[in-house]
Amino acid sequence: MTHSQELTPEALAGLRERYRAERERRVRPDGTRQYLGADAEFGYYAADPYVGEAAEREPVRDRVDVAVVGGGFGGILAGARLRQRGVQRVRVIEKGGDFGGTWYWNRYPGIHCDIESHVYLPLLDETGYVPEWKYAPGEEIRRHAVRIAEKFDLYADALFSTAVTSLTWDDTAEAWIVATDRGDKFRATYVITATGTLTELKLPGIPGIETFKGHTFHTSRWDYAYTGGTPDGGLTGLADKRVGVVGTGATGVQVVPMLAEDAKHLYVFQRTPSSVDVRANRRTTAGDVGADHDGWARERRDNFLRIVSGEGAEEDLVADRWTASAGLLEKLLPSFRRQGDRAAFEAAYEIADAAKMNEIRARVEEIVADPDTAEKLKPWYRYACKRPTFSDLYLQAFNRDNVTLVDTADTHGIERMTERGVVVGDTEYELDCLIFATGFSVGVSGIHSGRLPVRGRGGVQLLDAWARHGVRTLHGFTSNGFPNLLQMGSLQNASSVNFTHILDEQAVHAAALVAAAEAKGALIEPSREAEDAWLATLAQDAPDHEWFHAECTPGYYNREGRGRPNGPIAYPHGAVAFHDLLKRWRHQSMDDVLRTRTTARD
């Protein structure tokens, strides 16, 4: 019997009821306030374990063409695309000790990308690199970031272990003044912000968290000095340790099998189980991925984007569980699929969704030997409610004698912590080490965090202006009153699960704007009318996903159960259409944002 054959109207109604009950069991009144940032007494959680003390250096006080805030793939791609346009002085400022961003910070055991490496790793055509695995390990991805930075000579002017503390537009000089926490104060004609969306680690605000006397760290700052080993495993330091891990999201799913392998005993504290689909990682050859002609990687990446954006393609080159489940991503990201008969679409969607989730739950039963543990590992929500995960090792780890699953759904997570460990229900779990795989605060990095003030024309602060008038941009990149400031990320634009592709298209666009402004000796600044027109475009076909996310289990996709706001937050027709729109705009209308400078460039 297939999973969809079981889906009678009664079965669907039963699922809806079960999903509602599971959601109610998990929603907390404190919503997003339940988390702690790595600030004040918890600041040590965010320290860089890979460089130790940052080397002393003299403050920088010069002038560059472009300051790029952030040295992850966004910043690296901006730098590479600017170089291709002939821009000379590009300075990347990065908090970490090297390029890599996400892949610099996240080096936990088992780390891999679960988007196919041949579409995830950017600039493969340009660097001539062909990944060896369908899903690359984190270290290979980090090295690729370094490879791009080297190829495009981004090290020369870069500032590492340095955080930008303010960006101030100097009306007289028509340039940005960039200040940092290392005493730097330099000028930049343009600023590109590429500060990421999932960068600020978060901790659960568990009562008593500060009292725990054992060892503790967050997965994005792995303490190999304590655990021993490498991202490939061999965590010999844990052989005599009782280890706890909090969190079973995409990170938890990758790290649990590695901890299970080496810890004396592992307690997995789960609040909501992930959907864990087949991964099927394998070695690949250049022949397997068609890496035999110029542009092969671009074609493959475009093909993947078309499919996961619901656009369809003659051939599915990547052919994995992302592409197979593409139809179920409609509720994550707006796309063309929304057009047509809405009711019929939603009915078919619900059936496909239920079939997929039944398949996921059946997989748990097939793999996990203990029925009680299997029951707890089954996800009861719709596919797009939480980020899907993929593993052929995670569920299997629960068949080991040294692994215990502790379900915390009834107590809304871990109830409290003591000097010795963790309390759930009537049980205190004594631990030597507790690892937080509890993720990141969304959308609060860089200039949206409020910790990095941006003052535009007349000293107006960006966040103040947006608090008064709402977020206003043209295409998500530029805002009136903030000349020569280009934002990359997830703001009033279009996104996709393959985020490096999105970043690369943004980098191409930002570099084109800079090149055009340089050629004309102009400033980049949209008019308020251009912003109004863009907001109207976003609003015109804004998808109604709110009801869907309001019925989901809590998580960062729906602001911990409060739903996802409707309104002009993203381009409604998906990433493929957005990229086409940008390309057309560059050809036809770019001059509309170029304004005459009142000063000469020095």
- Segment interacting with ligand NDP, rule: CB under 6 A, options 207-215, 433-441, 463-471, 571-579: 433-441
Interactions with ligand NDP, residue window 206-225 (CB under 6 A):
206
- Segment interacting with ligand NDP, rule: CB under 6 A, options 308-316, 407-415, 425-433, 588-596: 407-415
Write a three-state SS string for 442-502.
Answer: CCCCHHHCCCCCEECHHHCEHHHHHHHHCCCCECCCEECCECCEEECCCCCCCCCCCHHHH
Interactions with ligand NDP, residue window 269-288 (CB under 6 A):
269, 271-272
**325 contributes a contact to ligand NDP by CB under 6 A:** no
**434 contributes a contact to ligand NDP by CB under 6 A:** no
Size of the site for ligand NDP (CB under 6 A): 28
- Segment interacting with ligand NDP, rule: CB under 6 A, options 244-252, 278-286, 332-340, 473-481: 244-252
Q: Quote the longest CA-to-CA distance of the chain.
A: 74
Partners of residue 581 on adjacent β-strands: none
Q: What is the dihedral of CA 153, 154, 159, 161, to 10 degrees?
A: -110
Q: Which is nearer to ligand NDP, 176 or 429 (CB)?
A: 429
**413 contributes a contact to ligand NDP by CB under 6 A:** yes
**145 contributes a contact to ligand NDP by CB under 6 A:** no
Q: Which is nearer to ligand NDP, 190 or 222 (CB)?
A: 222
**96 contributes a contact to ligand NDP by CB under 6 A:** no
- Segment interacting with ligand NDP, rule: CB under 6 A, options 370-378, 432-440, 566-574, 590-598: 432-440
Identify the DSSP state of 274: P
**492 contributes a contact to ligand NDP by CB under 6 A:** no
Q: Which is nearer to ligand NDP, 385 or 511 (CB)?
A: 385
**252 contributes a contact to ligand NDP by CB under 6 A:** yes
Q: How distant, in Å, are the alpha carbons of 117, 142, 278, 288, 300 from that of 285? A: 12, 21, 21, 5, 15
C-alpha atoms less than 13 angstroms from C-alpha of 131 in its C-beta half-sphere: 30
What lies within 8 Å, CB to CB, of 361 at 6+ separation is 378, 379
**414 contributes a contact to ligand NDP by CB under 6 A:** yes
Q: Which is nearer to ligand NDP, 170 or 410 (CB)?
A: 410
Distance of alpha carbon 34 from alpha carbon 28, whole angstroms = 8
Distance of alpha carbon 251 from alpha carbon 257, whole angstroms = 11
Q: What is the x/- site pattern for ligand NDP, positions 359-388, by CB under 6 A? A: ----------------------------x-
Partners of residue 91 on adjacent β-strands: 67
- Segment interacting with ligand NDP, rule: CB under 6 A, options 40-48, 241-249, 315-323, 344-352: 241-249
Q: Which helix (H) or strand (E) holds 307?
A: helix 296-308
Find the shortest distance in angstroms from Cβ 112 to ligand NDP. Answer: 6
- Output the six-digit token pair for 260: 């299970």
**251 contributes a contact to ligand NDP by CB under 6 A:** yes
Among 204, 456, 526, 561, binds ligand NDP (CB under 6 A): 204
- Segment interacting with ligand NDP, rule: CB under 6 A, options 169-177, 264-272, 295-303, 470-478: 264-272
Interactions with ligand NDP, residue window 544-573 (CB under 6 A):
555-556
Closest among 453, 484, 461 to 189, alpha carbons compared: 484
Find the shortest distance in angstroms from Cβ 74 to ligand NDP. Answer: 15
**304 contributes a contact to ligand NDP by CB under 6 A:** no
Among 216, 438, 490, 496, binds ligand NDP (CB under 6 A): 438
- Dihedral sign computed on CA atoms, order 87, 88, 91, 96: positive
Distance of alpha carbon 577 from alpha carbon 128, whole angstroms = 28
Find the shortest distance in angstroms from Cβ 386 to ligand NDP. Answer: 6
Task: Write out the DSSP string of 516-579.
Answer: HHHHHTEEE---HHHHHHHHHHHHHT----HHHHHTSPSSGGGTTTT----SSSS-TTHHHHHH
- Output the six-digit token pair for 504: 């690369």
- Output the six-digit token pair for 52: 């130790």
* Site residues, ligand NDP (CB under 6 A): 112-115, 198, 204, 206, 246-252, 254, 269, 271-272, 387, 408, 413-414, 437-440, 555-556
